Structure 1
Amino acid sequence: MTVSAPLDTEIPGADGVLDTPGRRLLADLVPVPSPSGEESAAGSRLAAFFEDRGREVWVDDAGNVRAPGDDSVLLTSHVDTVPGDVPVRVEQGDEELGAAGPVLWGRGSVDATGPLAAMAVAAVETGASFVGVVGEETDSRGARYLIEDREAPETVINGEPSGWEAITLGYRGIVGGEYAASTPAGHGARPEANAIDHATAWWERVRAAVDDANGQAEPGGFDTITATAASVDGGLAADGSAVTASMATRFRVPASETPDSVRALVDDCLDAGEVAWGQSIPPHVASPRGVLPAALRKAIRDAGGEPTHLHKTGTADANLYADAWDVPVVTYGPGDAELDHAPDERLPLAEFDRAVTVLTTACAQLTD
């Protein structure tokens, strides 16, 4: 295959700090805009990193960057980022993050170009399998393609920010639906409910049903359903014959539920209109026992850290891998997840270095 070589990116404040292959790769990737659907330029740079080091690498039909290796462990993270411009630069020190050294600012530095670059370095160092997937921030099309196109590895470490001392064991799932209603047009003085009334009343019932299902649990917590209205539209149709209303909705699914059970809960709230359901991702909770989390905990301790376990309220490709392949899957990567998608997204380079060390040490154990 032909891939373009990394560019000599000029980053303000970076003189003298891009002194390892991992830091250089990270600095090559972060300045390249890679919102979902526009990952090809970043993917090309990532592929060049492997090709320059003698690894087999190709870009598959979905756009995933694949470097096959020892399938005792598959290292995978996503190439895409959310949209947004965070000026790329290196600043010295960061009191809020407790960092004394250089800190790289830029969209994706945390979610998830930092984890992606750390995994690429560890894969080259240890011979582990690697895939950089596309579309994680939207429809997970890269991960969905991957699980259909290759056999299951023995274990998976999915790259997302956890902080270098933490291992993420669980994520909620997600299911989305589009509500739509239509009623005949009529004079505004008439008392009958129109489609917009039906939509708003339906959403109020949905929120009430979700609150009842959650009971006394803290709203938005790992063990709760979260209902979110992503967009809403409505009004008189162009031909004047009807009033229409639509609402795009998303529901986070805790481990105590399934996408099907959440769909049923929402459908029970209908008395007009209908919901067209889209793709879903099931929740996932990994066991802290077993060789995979043990290898990461040992590697964190060897690097001078004290490992902890996390359960996140979001959703990740890790859920799809665990569901489809039925193998141990955990998530790990440098960065403060509170900075995901944020306008001040940034990553201390010392934390990135520690994560590279942890991943390399863990993969060496798993591929031995």
Structure 2
Amino acid sequence: MSVATPIVPLDLTASSVELTRMLCDIPSESGDEARIADAVEAALAHYPHLQVLRFGNTIAARTTLGRARRVAIAGHLDTVPINGNVPTRFETLSPEDAAADVAGTIPGEYLWGRGTVDMKAGVAVQLKLAAELVNPVVDLTWLWYENEETSAELNGLGLLAAAHPELFEADFAILGEPTMAQVEGGCNGSIRAEIYTHGRRAHSARAWAGVNAIHAAAPILARLAAHEPATVSVEGLDYREGLNAVGIRGGVAGNVIPDECAVHVNYRFAPDKPLEEAEAQLRAWFDGFEIDILDRSGAARPGLDAPLAQEFLRAVGGVAKPKYGWTDVARFSALGIPAVNYGPGDPQKAHADDERVRLDEITAVERGLRDWLTGEDAGATA
């Protein structure tokens, strides 16, 4: 007889910093989000102003106050694999330690551990505000979802949108991906492909009897090395593209000439072009080779011209920047919902073994969202 795993308690009255620690200490690698989804669902059950729905390991919570406008605020519950960086710990980074960090880390107080940056600090802020904001100036749809860090077809936000499109009726969306507490508009798109070469097997002692598929991949690598990535301006934001080999496989045995080689390529493209055009460009760069598209996700335009986006930007301050990595703002954009990224954490520390988030960025994001959603700033209107 199987025994149910006890639900880990989450205290939504705790500080957003402590709540970040609680969430990060619940392991939730992609595909293993049940425990953290259980904890989130159980914690939200105490708040009658929220309508809570669970779909798989994705949790949605909504207010129904009859406001004129609705905002969706989302964050993913999963992380990339843990590598000795759970449980979390607090640490102080001195100026000397910060100067030695190639990522350009700022000195200060940090929470260290997997998920602190990508993106449980953002989720912690969202959960705390979802519990506390009973009278926001806009209606809110909070979305916490599974399987963001894996293949697109498993993405919990995409699956929820297909099953419950009514939850995606919104005028504006905010994704809590790490942005160092600054607004980042839109995102680059991403295509992953494998490019193949073929040969003929032979004994490596008689290599002339075969054709080496790995050697035949040299022109692919040469094209990649010679490629100069573009910087594309979209609605005043400069997006940097990228075309890179991220893997290569081939070979049968140490004494066999290989008959196949595959170069795994990732193309990050600016939101000036639709997905189909980006794929056509990738195929043109490698014309003459067999190409298999493994995964593709469209880009998202900045969306900063929407009235709610302008109000939000004024409320939290600063100058909007582009998001270079792909995020789920693209899913909202595809549904006609303008969306931005806004969350604590340095994106350069996402997925790193020394992943860590500045504590003051967590509190800054909480303050920015709280002030805007409660009308404490001059820009927010019902």
Report the TM-score when normalising by structure 2: 0.78
Secondary structure of the residue that 1:267 maps to in structure 2? helix
Letter in 1 for 2:54: V
Residues 105 and 329 (structure 1), Cα distance of their counterparts in 2 relative to 1, 3 Å cut: same
Alignment partner, residue 123 of structure 1: 130
| Identity across matched positions, percent | 23
Deviation at residue 114 of structure 1 after TM alignment:
0.6
Residue ranges of structure 1 left out of the alignment (5+ in a row): 10-17, 301-305
Alignment partner, residue 161 of structure 1: 178
Alignment partner, residue 79 of structure 2: 81
How many matched pairs? 345
1:33 aligns with 2:16: no
Q: Deviation per CA, 1:317-362: give whole Å up to 9, x if none.
A: 1112111x11111111112223222222222333312211211222
Residue ranges of structure 2 left out of the alignment (5+ in a row): 99-104, 135-139
Alignment partner, residue 319 of structure 2: 308
Deviation at residue 26 of structure 1 after TM alignment:
1.6
Secondary structure of the residue that 1:190 maps to in structure 2? helix
Secondary structure of the residue that 2:74 maps to in structure 1? strand
CA distance in 2, matches of 1:246, 1:35: 28
Alignment partner, residue 54 of structure 2: 59
CA distance in 2, matches of 1:367, 1:39: 36
Within a 5 Å distance, the mapping from 1:1-368 to structure 2 comes to 5-7=7-9, 20-54=14-48, 55-61=50-56, 63-70=57-64, 72-83=70-81, 84-87=83-86, 88-92=88-92, 95=95, 96=98, 102-126=109-133, 128-140=140-152, 141-149=155-163, 150-151=165-166, 152-164=169-181, 166-186=182-202, 188-190=206-208, 193-208=211-226, 210-211=227-228, 214=230, 223-236=239-252, 243-270=259-286, 273-300=289-316, 306-323=317-334, 325-365=335-375, 368=382
Letter in 2 for 1:72: R
Secondary structure of the residue that 2:118 maps to in structure 1? coil
Q: Deviation per CA, 1:230-275: give whole Å up to 9, x if none.
A: 221112489x797121222211011233433332233235466511
Deviation at residue 38 of structure 1 after TM alignment:
1.6
CA contact (8 A) 2:303 2:339 kept: no
CA contact (8 A) 1:4 1:45 kept: no
CA contact (8 A) 1:79 1:132 kept: yes
CA contact (8 A) 1:80 1:134 kept: yes
Deviates more, 1:178-187 or 1:77-86: 178-187
Alignment partner, residue 13 of structure 1: none
Deviates more, 1:337-346 or 1:30-39: 337-346
CA contact (8 A) 1:123 1:130 kept: yes
Letter in 2 for 1:138: T
Secondary structure of the residue that 2:117 maps to in structure 1? coil
CA distance in 2, matches of 1:236, 1:120: 51
